[in-house]
Chain A
Amino acid sequence: MANIIKIHHLHKSFGQLEVLKNIDFHVEQGEVITIIGSSGSGKSTLLRCINLLEMPDGGEILYHDQDILKNGININEHRTHVGMVFQSFNLFNNKNVLENCMIGQMKVLKRSKQEAEEKAMYYLEKVGMKEFAHAGSMQLSGGQKQRVAIARALCMDPEVLLFDEPTSALDPEMVGGILDVMKQLASEGLTMIVVTHEMAFAKEVSSRVIFMDQGVIAEEGTPQELFEKPKQARTKEFLHRYRSTSV
């Protein structure tokens, strides 16, 4: 299996606060990696470093063996290959659903309007939002917004899709639908890195689980290894705390 992303010795600080301390990991083609951990452990920052919404202070991020932190790398092009789905959706408020999915294709990938619209409708149908294509993005519910946001990201034909707590801002009854969409994408072989608090999803879908604690990868392994037989004390503690608060 080919490594799509390799991360070596990644460091990131916000002022005095060291958020990522020497992170090393790699992602293979078709893998679904979930990153779990308590808030403030650096999960989201790590994810945001991968498509350079945050600039790391040190280390290497290799995308197909090319260091994207080096000068001369086209960051905008990199972002079309590594898409992102946000906790707060970030749909464009001044555009309707269809336009949200088309603008990147037309302005960044320079696709024709017709091609962009066809692709947008294809992915909107896939996420179950085809009939909302002409609705304003502010009229949608949270779950619907997140479906559109996923479609928007898919329209750019990314090789990897990053999910930053995609269900954390949703009403509980909306969560299942989004997770179903993500499961389907995973089954179709899309490479995904998912920061989540949905342990059942992590267990069921991921090929590997990474547990982060205080800016380091404390433990990583298959879902069976990590959830059934965690080695580290802090992993056990986290999982225990999680089970006692979520039910």
Chain B
Amino acid sequence: MGLHLIIAANSTNFLTNTWNVFTRYHVMFLNAIKSTLLVAFVGTIVGLLIGLIIGGVRAVTSNQEHNQKTSAKIINKIIYAITSIYVEVFRGTPMMVQAMFLYYTFFAPVFKWSPLASAMVIISINTGAYMAEIMRSGIQSVDKGQVEGARSIGMNNFQTMRYIVLPQAIKNSFPSIGNEFVVNIKDSCVLNCITFSELFFAAKSVQGSIFSYAEPFLIVGILYLILTFITSRILGLIEKRMNHRKSSYPSSVTTPNSSVMKG
């Protein structure tokens, strides 16, 4: 009985402490939220652009058409190989390692970039590699008949991609694209290693000032949860609206398989 009371008293005490830590350092936490969201958002948008280009190129060059000339086939293979190296390297190594290497080797000493600018670049390149695979499978999920329809009225490869395939591929992959944003909100925490002051970095600083781990990390845990929860809800609403538009897709529409998602 007595023990329970002590634990109850301690936990009330702990929660009060946590609240006190939050109110005391709230400016720091709120600024960190801004940094985290900024980097996650920029990383997702720029990553998507990289993914559109690289994924589009990969989708086109991975299809060996039988009527191609040999020289075109070789060029395709080389381009595909180069994009594969990019995708494999950035998906196959931890973002923290990429950040440490790129920041301390190039970004800080050579380009004199700030931690914020470097963080944005690193998360963009990293997300781009994932987006490339999402877009590739999104493009390949678009019915081949769509391409034939476009080619049959004289559209060239680029026009077919730009006006017919990519809009559908983006729509098909929207859940995966949104998922990348949520993942980026969380994974941007590894960028604290290049002294970029996002949420995790703020928690570490606070921990250094108050000599206690529990409170600051409970706070950022809750903050991360609030951010990801709200973001997923918003993305869910957008997705719902997209599917209720008048030119909606059938419910059996192919979605990119989950193996390309960041896991």
| Interface residues of A, Cβ cutoff 8 Å to B | 51, 53, 55, 76-77, 79-80, 83-84, 86, 88-96, 103-104, 107-109, 135-139, 149, 152-153, 156
In the complex, which residues of chain A have a beta carbon less than 8 angstroms from the beta carbon of B159? 107-108
Contact among A53, A109, A138 with B152 in the assembled complex (CB-CB below 8 Å): A53
- The interface residues of chain A lying within 8 Å CB-to-CB of B262 are none
With A55-B67, A90-B145, A94-B167 already in contact, the answer to whether A104 and B246 are too (CB < 8 A) is: no
Contact A80 B246 (CB under 8 A): no
Cβ distance B227 to chain A, nearest Cβ, rounded Å:
32
**Quick check: B163 and A103 within 8 Å, CB to CB?**
yes
Bound CA span A83–B149, Å: 10
- Size of the chain B interface, CB-CB below 8 angstroms: 26
B246 touches A84 (CB 8 A): no
Q: Do B248 and A136 touch across chains, with their CB atoms under 8 A apart?
A: yes
Chain B 67-108, CB-CB to A under 8 Å as 1, else 0, gives 100000000000000000000000000000000000000000
Residues of chain B with a CB closer than 8 A to A108's CB: 153-155, 159
What residues on A are CB-neighbors of B21 within 8 Å?
Answer: none
- The verdict on B146 contacting chain A, using a C-beta distance below 8 Å, is yes
- Which residues of the other chain, A, contact B145 by a CB distance below 8 angstroms? 86, 88-90
Question: What distance in Å separates the Cβ of A153 from its nearest Cβ neighbour in chain B?
Answer: 7
Min C-beta distance of A14 to chain B, whole Å: 9
Set B149, B163, B167, B171: member contacting A90, Cβ < 8 A: B149
* CB closest residue in chain B, given A78: B154
Nearest chain A CB to B196 CB, angstrom units? 38
B-chain residues with CB within 8 Å of residue A55 when the two chains form the complex? 66-67
Whether A86 pairs with B164 at a CB distance below 8 angstroms is no
Smallest CB–CB gap between A66 and chain B, Å? Answer: 17
In the bound complex, residues from chain A placing their C-beta under 8 Å from that of B248 are: 136, 138
Contact check, A96 vs B152: say whether CB atoms are below 8 A apart.
no
Query: Contact between A83 and B148 (Cβ–Cβ < 8 Å)?
Result: no
Chain B residues contacting A91 (CB-CB under 8 Å) are 149
Q: In the bound complex, what is the Cα–Cα distance between A88 and B153 (angstroms)? A: 15
Q: A55-B66, A92-B146 are in contact. Are A76 and B247 (CB under 8 A)?
A: no
Neighbouring B residues of A83 by C-beta, 8 Å: 152-153
Q: Is A53 in contact with B249, judged by CB distance below 8 angstroms?
A: no
A138 touches B250 (CB 8 A): yes
Which of A79, A96, A156 lies at the interface centre, i.e. has the most chain B CB atoms within 10 A of its CB? A79
Q: Nearest chain-B residue to A108 (Cβ)?
A: B154
Instruction: Give the chain B neighbours of A149 by CB distance below 8 A.
Output: 149
From the candidates B148, B149, B150, B245, name the one contacting A136 in the complex (CB within 8 A): B245
Q: How far is the CA of A107 from the CA of B223 in the complex (A)?
A: 48
B26 within 8 A of A: no
- The docked-state distance in angstroms from the alpha carbon of A4 to that of B152 is 18
Given contacts A94-B164, A96-B247, contact A53 B148 (CB under 8 A): yes
Could you tell me if A86 and B148 are in contact, using CB atoms closer than 8 angstroms? Answer: yes
